[in-house]
Chain A
Amino acid sequence: MGLLDKEFSDGNIVIVKVDDLFNWARLSSIWQLGFGLACCAIEMMATSASHYDFDRFGVIPRNTPRQADAIIISGTVTLKMATRIKRLYEQIPDPKYIISMGSCSNCGGPYWEHGYHVLKGVDRVIPVDVYVPGCPPRPEALLEGLLKLQEKIRNESLRKKSA
């Protein structure tokens, strides 16, 4: 808080639009549901580990959906798992955001043609905000996806969620 303290030393008042304040708060601390599905989960772990450090964007894994703001669907969604993912999604309090990470959860990926047990895209069960392509996406790609999500949140309005 050092810099801010110097900026507002006399107990000043800041006037800000409610939208901007809320959006700023929301986008700066997106707590994700600590939830890995398949190969992409390893890249997600690598992103939150030392080298790429997800923490600097305010992304902290929470292990219960009730404390989470976002899910990163990291990997192949099978038909058996799809109902569970839907239930996890429903347990997250609003506002909630979904990043679909990797080809499998975007569209079925390499399992598109013959994968009789693979859901062809997680957007068939839950709404997705950002799609990150790749099989698996590099950690940089996931970070870019997060920045896109932040951009989306920044333009939201309390009256209506941005399309």
Chain B
Amino acid sequence: MALKTEHMVLNMGPQHPSTHGVLRLELELEGELIKKVVPHIGYLHRCFEKHAEAMQYNQIIPYTDRMDYLASMYNNFGYVIAVEKLLGIEVPERVQYIRVIMGELQRIASHLVALGTYGLDIGAFTPFLYLFRDREKILTLFEMTCGARLLYNYMWVGGLSHDIHPDFQRMTKEFVNYFKPTIVELDNLLSYNKIFIERTANIGILPIDTAINYGVTGPMLRGSGIKFDLRKDDPYSIYDRFDFDIPVGKGIYGTVGDCWDRYYVRVREMEQSLRIIEQAIDNIPEGDVQSAIPKRIKPPKGTVYTRVENPRGELGYFIISDGNTNPFRVKVRAPSFVNLEVMGELCKGHLVADVIAILGSVDIVLGEVDR
């Protein structure tokens, strides 16, 4: 007699220590093997677009902070660039330089959380503590600049909320010098750790064509070996002035595009961010950071789409203006949301324990997925 079998459905989340927020994954299992993964989202839908309809242009900036709360500076950055493009205003050089420095510091801070919690998810507790120690140093820099640790509302349309502190340049240089050896420490502690490699190499391989078909961007796409970075390929602000490389996955311990590659791309990206900061920090020109801030933001009718390279990928803002003080609509192309879609492809045929490793390497922020 044939035994009747059926797949088991397992819910992972919304309360789960390693879903990085409130994500529910519906896993369909055959024994330990994963047949299907369906992400259920919407547990953190905070009505961003509704707020964008109801608010004035500058009032939306705090809400962009709260989308990708690990990279608030960069969300501000993308939004203000979009509005400035709509208004057609030039921002002073000093503002541009400070924005780039803040953006790159934020990229490091964001990657530190991503890498730290990634280690935590698959059983390495120590790197988490080390990396949060370093992240506090970046947060100190942000705090002395704008008074906030996490959600900054720092970049305004046409300028910045505060000028940098007189000590900022010195302390940033100190941080850069301090942080360089720390990356080596991280490599020894986690990247080249045998257990870590066993858990991540050859797991969740993302082939190039799948990545492109799903519209995956950021470290995930670069982990698959594609050299695509908007800072180089579609330079915004003043990124074309700096000299930096784009790290890509090479499949050192496994296949190109596995979890380890995605992890490693993030580690190497932090080095490149340090390079950009080093080049920018000494060249900040003098000037007033608030001189170009418009008194009243009332852009002409029209639409604009800008995209920036957020720590998680391509962050796009599509703004429709109907000539009023409020935007008609603001649509956000959130990198985490797009990257999350590929989960189903990545998990197929892997074991349950690997879902954690794969999800951590995708590095989602639920605030941005649900908006």
Contact = CB atoms under 8 A, between A and B. Distances in A.
B295 interface: no
B62 A51 contact: no
Contact of B22 (A37, A49, A110, A138): A37
Interface of A: 33-39, 41-43, 45-46, 49-51, 61, 63, 65, 75-76, 78, 80-81, 84, 88, 110-111, 113-118, 135-136, 138
Given A37-B21, A118-B46, A45 B149 contact: no
Contacts of B54: 113-114
Contact of A111 (B17, B46, B151): B46
Contact of B132 (A38, A39, A49): A49
B130 A50 contact: yes
Given A37-B21, A50-B129, A114-B50, A42 B150 contact: yes
7 contacts: A38-B367, A39-B150, A42-B150, A45-B113, A76-B46, A84-B43, A111-B51
B129 A38 contact: no
B66 interface: yes
Nearest to B14: A84
A121 B61 CA distance: 23
B63 interface: yes
B50 A38 contact: no
Given A50-B133, A80-B42, A110-B63, A135 B151 contact: yes
A114 B52 CA distance: 10
A31 to B, nearest CB: 14
A129 B45 CA distance: 26
A158 B307 CA distance: 59
B128 interface: yes
A43 B69 CA distance: 10
B254 to A, nearest CB: 29
A81 to B, nearest CB: 5
B66 A88 contact: no
B57 to A, nearest CB: 16
Given A37-B44, A117-B46, A42 B69 contact: yes
B1 interface: no
Given A42-B69, A49-B132, A51-B132, A35 B15 contact: yes
A121 B229 CA distance: 41
Contacts of A46: 132, 135-136, 139
A33 B129 CA distance: 19
A136 B148 CA distance: 9
Contacts of A110: 62-63, 66
Contacts of A84: 14-15, 43
A38 B69 contact: yes
Given A34-B17, A50-B133, A81-B43, A39 B69 contact: yes
Contact of B43 (A42, A78, A136): A78
A35 B20 CA distance: 9
Contact of B151 (A33, A39, A78): A39
B366 interface: yes
Nearest to B63: A110
Among A38, A41, A110, max chain B CB count under 10 A is at A38
A72 to B, nearest CB: 13
B47 interface: yes
Given A34-B17, A35-B15, A39-B69, A115 B46 contact: yes
Nearest to B17: A63
Contact of A45 (B15, B43, B51, B132): B132
A80 B130 CA distance: 35
A111 B129 contact: no
Contacts of B113: 42, 45
A111 B371 CA distance: 12
The CB with the most chain A CB atoms within 10 A, among B22, B113, B129, B135, is that of B22
B70 interface: yes
B128 A41 contact: no
Interface string B37-59: 00000111111001100100000
B132 A114 contact: no
Contacts of B15: 33, 35, 65, 84, 88
A80 B43 contact: yes
A116 B151 contact: no
Given A39-B150, A84-B15, 4 more contacts: A36-B22, A49-B129, A50-B136, A76-B44
A38 B20 CA distance: 9
Contacts of A37: 21-22, 44
B47 A117 contact: yes
Contacts of B149: 43, 136, 138
A118 B69 contact: no
A6 to B, nearest CB: 33
A23 to B, nearest CB: 28
A43 B151 CA distance: 11
Contacts of A49: 116, 128-129, 132-133
